[in-house]
Amino acid sequence: MLSKYKYVLFIFLFSLFGLGYIFSFYASESKLGISPKSTPYDDIEKKQLLGKISYKQDKNFSAVEEAYCTKPSYLLKEVYQNFKKMHDAAKKEGVKLVIVSGTRNFEEQKSIWDRKFQANIKTLDTIACIKKILLFSSMPSTSRHHWGTDIDLINLNNSYFEKGQGLKEYTWLKNNAAKFGFCQVYDDKKLTNRTGYELEKWHWSYLPTAKLFLKQYKEKITYKDINNFIGSTYASNKKIDMIHNFVAGIAKDCQ
């Protein structure tokens, strides 16, 4: 019925106004209640938001070629394509952008979390232990790396980017990454009053897609969904408040 309706409407409008009007009409056809084309992210499943996926077998993901990463990595296809454009533009100016970490699913994040928890709980109480880990690492089910939209670039130490080649690379990213859709989500919270993780000059997010994931994460995920790892019951603790302080604790420019 919709196809027949559009055909009849096209003929009618063409006879009255010509093509120019028709193009502008269809650009705003949602006003008539006609739905735009769907995307893979119109209704993201909880398991995707929580990282409970097998991204290597997911048709929406691509393996990153060796020339662009330091270890086997995967990203959502559109994220990877735009990273390659950014990489090539940077290369022309003497800057080499290389991915040191891409997508991590729940189990991979859990492995990192459990290892750090076991190491720190020996000398700290549970809250202090969790806070120390959360300086730079996410609880499983709360990491942006679950989504396939975020990448860690070049070096995982802020000090690397303070001088020499590292400073050149970071300056280029600050000046140009937004042209390709990327944003540094964890800026210096001491200056911006942001909550959550510490400054991460290496962590960049592809906003056109990441914004859709973050919006639906806030709408669909509750603390009941954050479970099955050491310390998970503390996610909702007022001193932690993972969803509000950490998942939503990103730079204003990236919101």
18: pLDDT confidence band, cut at 50, 70 and 90?
Answer: low
Distance of alpha carbon 240 from alpha carbon 234, whole angstroms: 7
| 247 SS3 class | helix
Q: Among candidates 51, 83, 71, which has minimal Cα distance to 177?
A: 83
First to last CA, the chain: 39
pLDDT digits (tens, 9 = 90+) for 83-103: 999 999 999 999 999 999 999
> Could you tell me the pTM of the whole model?
0.85
Work out the number of other CB atoms within 10 angstroms of the CB of residue 165: 14
* pLDDT tens by residue, 188-213: 999 999 999 999 999 999 999 999 99
Ramachandran quadrant class, 183 (left: phi over 0; alpha: psi -120 to 50; beta: rest): beta
* pLDDT 10s digits, 107-152: 999 999 999 999 999 999 999 999 999 999 999 999 999 999 999 9
